[in-house]
Amino acid sequence: GAVVSQHPSRVICKSGTSVKIECRSLDFQATTMFWYRQFPKKSLMLMATSNEGSKATYEQGVEKDKFLINHASLTLSTLTVTSAHPEDSSFYICSASGGQGHYYEQYFGPGTRLTVT
């Protein structure tokens, strides 16, 4: 149990376009989902926390209008990178809590590599 999927796994887009990344908890209902960004050879940096049916809470320095998060159900959250630019290229990882174990243990998706040309 506690499997999280992400789609797509890789995406290449042109500068100025928008990209949507989906995060799904496959075998549990996720009370909370988290979105992280990871630069090469660096640790994970939390971008935002979202609870189903409510607005996401963004970390300091993360532009909420650029990184739109929707958490429409207990098994699905989406991150939309709007008007993407090359500096948005990164590895985006979601996680979900509410699975087996303690309620706050986070289970991670496989990540989405975004390349903006």
Partner 1 sequence: GQQLNQSPQSMFIQEGEDVSMNCTSSSIFNTWLWYKQEPGEGPVLLIALYKAGELTSNGRLTAQFGITRKDSFLNISASIPSDVGIYFCAGLLSNFGNEKLTFGTGTRLTIIP
Q: 17 or 100: whose CB is closer to partner 1?
A: 100
Q: Which of 11, 13, 44, 68 binds partner 1 (CB under 8 A)?
A: 44
Query: CA–CA separation, 63 vs 86, rounded Å?
Result: 16
Burial annotation 13-26 (CB, 10 A radius, 16+ → b, else e): beeeeebebbbbbe
- Report if residue 63 touches partner 1, rule: CB under 8 A: no
88-107 residues near partner 1, rule: CB under 8 A: 91, 93, 95, 97, 101-107
- Report if residue 30 touches partner 1, rule: CB under 8 A: no
